[in-house]
């Protein structure tokens, strides 16, 4: 009987150690979810900033083209309409992506119109705006990749055992990827000069 009494404190220390480790894991997992959620929000903000930069460039590009392509009013109006619609969208990444698809298509049409005007293609202001837009598109793609990587990390953590238990317990939500539907829309609009 004396032997059992000596083992009892060791057994209690082991149980206490397991409980402490469980609590530490629980807290660390919760903090990881909070950190991942913040990374997703921050990276979406980066995407949003680059999209706003694009929205600011497009009216300047349209105005430059307007001077050369006066009878192409319909295309110019579609670009501005698509830009305003995309800029006004503040929904989910899926909703934003739908508006961005429309805007990318309209900008491609604008560049196609510009192809018909050799003087416009040689205009330094147009070339500068075109270069800035291409640079902005590259930055949007980089920001989107960063955002999607953070979404992947959060969504993976929410699905794997045992961290999904903590995620479900505190109602952490999956995030939407910011994706475009087809390969043509993923590429930077190109205009040959």
- Tell me the per-residue pLDDT of 60-106, one tens digit each, with 9 for 90 and over: 888 888 777 766 778 888 888 999 888 888 888 888 888 888 888 88
Q: What homologous superfamily is domain 2-186 in, according to CATH?
A: LemA-like domain (1.20.1440.20)
Span 138-157, pLDDT tens digits: 999 999 999 999 999 999 99
Q: Would you state the pLDDT for residue 191?
A: 44
Lowest mean pLDDT among 14-18, 33-37, 73-77: 73-77
Q: How many CB atoms lie within 10 A of CB 93?
A: 20
Kindly indicate the confidence band of residue 1, based on its pLDDT and cuts at 50, 70 and 90.
Answer: very low
Exposed/middle/buried for residue 117 (C-beta within 10 Å: 0-12, 13-18, 19+): middle
Read off the pTM. 0.75
Q: What's the rounded mean pLDDT across residues 117-146?
A: 86
Q: Would you state the pLDDT for residue 162?
A: 93
Give the integer Cα–Cα distance in Å for 119 and 160: 58
The long-range contacts involving 141-149, CB below 8 angstroms and separated by at least 24 positions, are 141/186, 141/188, 143/43, 143/46, 143/47, 143/49, 143/50, 144/47, 144/178, 146/43, 146/46, 147/40, 147/43, 147/44, 147/46, 147/47, 147/93, 147/178, 148/177, 148/178, 148/179, 149/43
């Amino acid at each position: 009987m004396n032997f059992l009494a000596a083992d009892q404190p060791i057994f209690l220390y082991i149980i206490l150690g397991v409980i402490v480790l469980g609590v530490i894991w629980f807290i660390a997992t919760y903090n990881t979810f909070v950190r991942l959620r913040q990374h997703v929000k921050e990276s979406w903000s980066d995407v949003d900033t680059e999209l706003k930069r694009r929205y600011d460039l497009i009216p300047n590009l349209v105005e430059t083209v307007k001077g050369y392509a006066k009878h192409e009013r319909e295309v110019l109006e579609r670009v501005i309409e698509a830009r305003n619609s995309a800029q006004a969208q503040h929904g989910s990444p899926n909703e934003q992506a739908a508006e961005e698809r429309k805007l990318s298509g309209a900008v491609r049409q604008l560049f196609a119109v510009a192809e018909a005007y050799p003087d416009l293609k040689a205009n330094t202001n147009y070339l500068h705006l075109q270069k800035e837009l291409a640079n902005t598109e590259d930055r949007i793609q980089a920001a989107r990749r960063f955002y999607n990587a953070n979404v992947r990390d959060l969504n993976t953590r929410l699905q794997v055992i045992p961290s999904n238990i903590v995620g479900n317990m505190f109602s952490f939500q999956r995030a939407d990827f910011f994706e475009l539907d087809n390969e043509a829309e993923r590429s930077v609009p190109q205009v040959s000069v």
